[in-house]
Structure formats: structure tokens, C-alpha cells
A and B are shown apart, each in its own frame.
Chain A
Amino acid sequence: MDTTFVLPNSGHHRDDMSSKMGMWLFLFTELLLFGGLFLVYMIYRFKYHDAFLHASYDLNVWFGGVNTIVLLASSMSVAMSITAMQKGNIKLSKNLIWLTIIAAGIFLVIKSFEWSAKFEHGLFPGMEHYNSMGNGERLFFFLYFFMTGLHALHVIIGAIFLYFIIRAIQKQKVRQDKYMFLENGGLYWHLVDLIWIYLFPLFYLIH
């Protein structure tokens, strides 16, 4: 009985490509999750075109635009943090991740300004002003809160993910020769950016 043979491909060995593939597959599920919402948005924008246009005036293009730039910059910073890690510049890598997290924070702060302004105007589903609006406008605002809210949830999750990566770097579980965790965090973060890239024109730039 040969007890010394070892299976060449083991499910218990580290394999960076498996890790990356798994992450991409997970990103596909996120794409389709939001995709369903985009489908709903598309149908109702088609049906209530004027109401959507009218309702969109309540959104501030500049807030949306700044948030877009903030997220794009955060994508750059997390991509650069991977470069830094590859070059062995651990400190820079960590700082760039911190920058990404800060950008996430800025995004969320701006978002909360936007949202609270709407609450003050009674525009959230269930509030008085909201209930008095027409069907199309109510759908616009519901989709706005649902989609940007779900997106914001992913921003938070992404930021937490990035924080855990910093912790892993500190414990040297992420290093110059082993940084798939960081790459995957970056991939997730870029997804967050990607979703906003579509949310921004669809909600803020209807004209």
C-alpha cells in the first residue's frame, strides 16, 4: 500500500488563481444583483419618463459628481496600493489603503447629506410629501433610495474588507509574496466604483 503519494492538486493548498477566480465569480453575482434593479429602473423610466425627469431635479449634480470623482480616486488609490505591495513598499501600500477607506468615508458623508436633505423634505417612502406625489415620482425616489442605499451598504462592506486587509498586512499575512487577499479587496472595491459609475448618470444626469 503506497501511503506516501500526494495528490498533485489539492483543495487544501494555497492557489492564488483559485482565489481570484472565486472573487470574480462572486463579483458576477453582485453585478446581477444590481442588474435586476437596473432592469426595474429601465422599465419604469421608460413608463414614467417625464416623472423621472421631473423628480431628478431634486438631486444635486454636483454632489453626485464629487462623489463620482471621490470613488474614482479611491479606485486609483487601492490599485496603487497593490503596486506598492508588489514593489515591497509595505508602508505605502497600507497608507494607500487608508486613503481608500477615507475616500469611502467622504463618499458616505456626502451621501448622508443628500439623504438627510431628502428626509427633511419628506421625500422618503412613507413620509407625507412622498405619499402625495404621483406614481412615477414615487417610483423614482424609491429606486433612488433602494439602489443608492444598497450601494452604500456595499461601500461600507468594502471599507470593512479593506480594514481587515490592513490588519492582515500588519500581521504579515499579506506580504510582497502573498497578497491575493489585497488584490481581492481591490477587486471588490472596483465593483463598488463600477456600480456608482452607472448609478450616477441614471439618477443625476437625466436630461
Chain B
Amino acid sequence: MNPGNHDKTTGQEAHVHIVSYKEHASTFLGLILLTIMTVTVSVFGADLYTLTVLTALAIASAKAVVVAMYFMHLKYDPKIYKAMLGVVLVLFIVFIVLTLIDYLIRN
């Protein structure tokens, strides 16, 4: 362990948080449910082009949040990690938006 480091941005102490097997299993079940949902929407959903894409992306993002928060332990980790990931996601979304401003309005 690192002595004498008082990184104020994290404040993490040595107490370890253990996620139970049960919690992991529940997370997995939740993810399976979301997967079933997305397949169902796609296979049986209407030809709502944009809405279908958005729904699929929304469900995928929900799964991603679950994986990140629980399996990757972000929920229980110091805030700095969530903050960093947040910045990365904002960045990526702005890339998409700015690029789309070009493509959606061309010609």
C-alpha cells in the first residue's frame, strides 16, 4: 500500500468492499432480461426505423451501465473514476453529434 498519500480527490481507505456472489448473479440475470428485451423488440418490433435503432441503443446502453456499475465496480469505487468515464462519454457523444450535423444536413 502507498504510505502517506492523501489524495484528496479520492479519499479511499483500506476497507475493501466485497460484492457477493448473489449480487453478481442478479446482475447477470438483469443483463439476460435486457438481452431478451432487445431481441424481442427487434424480431417482433414494427418497421420504425429510427425508433428501433434508438431503442436498441438505449437497451444496449442500459446493459453497458449495468456492466460498468456492478461488474466493473464503478458504483462502489471513488468518484474520480465515474468522473473520468463521464468526460470520455461526453466527448464521444459530441463527436457523434458534430459529425451528424454534417451528414444529416448535407445537400
> A201 contacts which chain B residues (CB < 8 A)?
38, 42, 56-57, 59-60
**Known A193-B67, A197-B60, A205-B56; contact A80-B24, beta-carbon cutoff 8 A:** yes
Most chain A beta-carbon contacts within 10 A, residue among B1, B10, B100: B1
**Known A8-B5, A75-B71; contact A86-B88, beta-carbon cutoff 8 A:** no
Question: What residue of chain B has the Cβ atom nearest to residue A205's Cβ?
Answer: B42
Within 8 A of B (CB), among A1-54: 8-9, 13-18, 20-21, 24-25, 28, 31-32, 35, 39, 42-43, 46-47, 49
CB distance from A162 to the nearest CB of B (A): 15
Question: What residue of chain B has the Cβ atom nearest to residue A84's Cβ?
Answer: B21
Q: Which of the residues B39, B57, B92, B99 comes within 8 Å of A31, measured between beta carbons? A: B92
0 or 1 for each of A64-106: is its CB under 8 Å from B? (1 = yes):
0100110011011001101100110000000000000000000
Q: Are B21 and A80 in contact (CB under 8 A)?
A: yes
Kindly state the separation between the CA atoms of A20 and B64 in the bound complex, as whole angstroms.
19
Q: Are B42 and A207 in contact (CB under 8 A)?
A: yes
**Known A83-B18, A86-B16; contact A73-B28, beta-carbon cutoff 8 A:** yes
Q: Are B43 and A61 in contact (CB under 8 A)?
A: yes
0 or 1 for each of B1-37: is its CB under 8 Å from A? (1 = yes):
1111101001010001011110011011001100100
Question: What residue of chain B has the Cβ atom nearest to residue A179's Cβ?
Answer: B16
The prevalent SS among residues of B at the interface is helix
The interface size of chain B toward A, counting residues with CB under 8 Å, comes to 55
> A83 contacts which chain B residues (CB < 8 A)?
18-21, 24
Q: Are B67 and A28 in contact (CB under 8 A)?
A: no
Whether a CB of chain B sits under 8 angstroms from the CB of A194 is yes
> B96 contacts which chain A residues (CB < 8 A)?
39, 42
Kindly state the separation between the CA atoms of A43 and B96 in the bound complex, as whole angstroms.
9
Q: Are A39 and B99 in contact (CB under 8 A)?
A: yes
Whether a CB of chain B sits under 8 angstroms from the CB of A55 is no
Q: Are B71 and A79 in contact (CB under 8 A)?
A: yes
CB distance from A7 to the nearest CB of B (A): 9
Q: Which of the residues B5, B12, B28 comes within 8 Å of A9, measured between beta carbons? A: B5
Whether a CB of chain B sits under 8 angstroms from the CB of A187 is yes
Within 8 A of B (CB), among A188-207: 190, 193-194, 197-198, 200-202, 205-207
Kindly state the separation between the CA atoms of A8 and B57 in the bound complex, as whole angstroms.
47
Q: Are A190 and B71 in contact (CB under 8 A)?
A: yes
0 or 1 for each of B46-68: is its CB under 8 Å from A? (1 = yes):
01010011001101100110011
**Known A15-B5, A80-B21, A190-B67; contact A202-B28, beta-carbon cutoff 8 A:** no
Q: Which of the residues B67, B85, B99 comes within 8 Å of A24, measured between beta carbons? A: B85
**Known A8-B5, A9-B2, A76-B28; contact A205-B18, beta-carbon cutoff 8 A:** no
**Known A17-B10, A197-B63; contact A8-B4, beta-carbon cutoff 8 A:** yes
| Interface pairs A-B: 3 shortest CB-CB | A205-B42, A8-B4, A201-B56
Q: Could you write out 7 A-B pairs with CB less than 8 Å apart?
A: A72-B31, A75-B31, A75-B71, A76-B24, A83-B18, A206-B42, A207-B43
